[in-house]
Amino acid sequence: MAKNKLNKNWLHDHINDPYVKLAQKEGYRARAAYKLKEIDESEKLIKPGQVIVDLGSTPGSWSQYARKKLSGQEGGGISGTIIGLDMLPMDPVADVQFILGDFRDARPLRELHAILAGRKADLVLSDMAPNLSGIPTADAARMEHLIDLAIEFSQLHMKPSGALLVKCFKDMGFSQVVEKFRAEFKTVKQVKPKASRDKSSEIFLLGRGLKNPGVKIHAEDDESTLDI
């Protein structure tokens, strides 16, 4: 009974959410586009000519926004490169090159390297979040692991002067994540866009300038314990 009430309350809030309505009006696949839009307008992240990698890109709203910033005209080409990666399928976004698979695996990495053709990313975006178990310590560990992977990906595939933007949650090992960012990036900023719901602990971390480019932060990853 309580679960049904919770679902009804969520549905009511979702339907009446101004960002949901705006996303429908402007053709974005999710309201998350406006989180990136706010951060980008504040931090001046996305510029024509960049190589941008969108980790966990499905359903594609962040890629849609990045594409709009690199062009302006639907189907008219872009100044730059956008690569989306996800373990879930994503409907095509014009001018966005999508790779289906886990970016830790050999085949997706080969596809990524082929698209990059020796280049490094200017900007890495990660809106990834784990499947939640409801067990706080386990969920915090899963979230932290995803952020570790995003940092490691950036160290290997991003320019030393590049930027990494990741989603975090303040109730999921946030202080440890901030410390990791401070250890790996020259400047670190916490950002809570207005489009992020007030009742949510969601917050974004922006790291600029790698301290240790090309260095993996893990000797190895145990993938068997995670359901990402």
CATH of residue 211: 3.40.50.150
Query: Catalytic residue among 35, 120, 159, 167, which?
Result: 167
DSSP-based three-state secondary structure for 74:
coil
- The pLDDT tens digits of the residues spanning 7-53 come to 554 454 555 688 899 999 999 999 999 999 999 999 999 999 999 99
Q: Rounded CA gap, 86 and 183, in Å?
A: 27
Could you tell me if residue 202 is inside a domain?
yes
- Does residue 80 lie within any of the structural domains? yes
Q: Could you give the number of structural domains in the chain?
A: 1
Helices (H), 27-125: 33-43, 61-69, 106-116
**Sheet hosting strand 158-169, strand order edge to edge:** 96-100, 81-86, 51-55, 121-126, 158-169, 202-210, 185-191
Read off the tokens for 18.
């101004």
Q: What is the mean pLDDT of the chain?
A: 87
- Whether 22 maps to a domain, the answer reads no
Confirm or deny that 101 is annotated as ligand binding. no
Calculate ∠ Cα 14-200-66, nearest 5°: 75
Q: Which of 169, 156, 210 is nearest to 178 (CA)?
A: 169
Determine if residue 62 is labeled as part of a ligand binding site. yes
* 23 part of a folded domain: no
By CB neighbour count within 10 A (0-12 exposed, 13-18 middle, 19+ buried), where does 3 fall?
exposed
Q: How far apart (Å, rounded) are the C-alpha atoms in residues 124 and 206? A: 10
Q: What's the rounded Cα separation, in Å, for the pair 31 and 21?
A: 8
pLDDT higher than threshold 70 for residue 102: yes
On whether residue 51 sits in a domain, the answer given is: yes
Predicted pLDDT at 14: 54
Of 182, 183, 147, which Cα lies nearest the Cα of 166? 147
Name the pTM for this structure.
0.87
Instruction: Work out whether strand 185-191 and strand 202-210 pair parallel, antiparallel, or are unpaired.
Output: antiparallel
Q: Looking at residue 2, what is its pLDDT? A: 47
102 carries a ligand binding annotation: yes
What pLDDT score does 219 carry? Answer: 39
| 127 marked as part of a ligand binding site | yes
95 annotated ligand-binding residue: no
Q: Round to the nearest angstrom and report the end-to-end CA distance of the chain.
A: 29
In a domain, 58, yes or no: yes
Given a cut of 70, whether residue 70 has pLDDT beyond it is yes
Q: Domain range for residue 202?
A: 31-225
Read off the pLDDT of each residue in 108-118 and give the average, rounded to a whole number: 96
Is residue 5 one of the residues assigned to a domain?
A: no
In a domain, 146, yes or no: yes
User: Given a cut of 60, is residue 220 above it in pLDDT?
Assistant: no
Question: Which tens digits make up the pLDDT trace of 179-197?
Answer: 999 999 999 999 999 998 8
Q: Is 69 a catalytic residue?
A: no
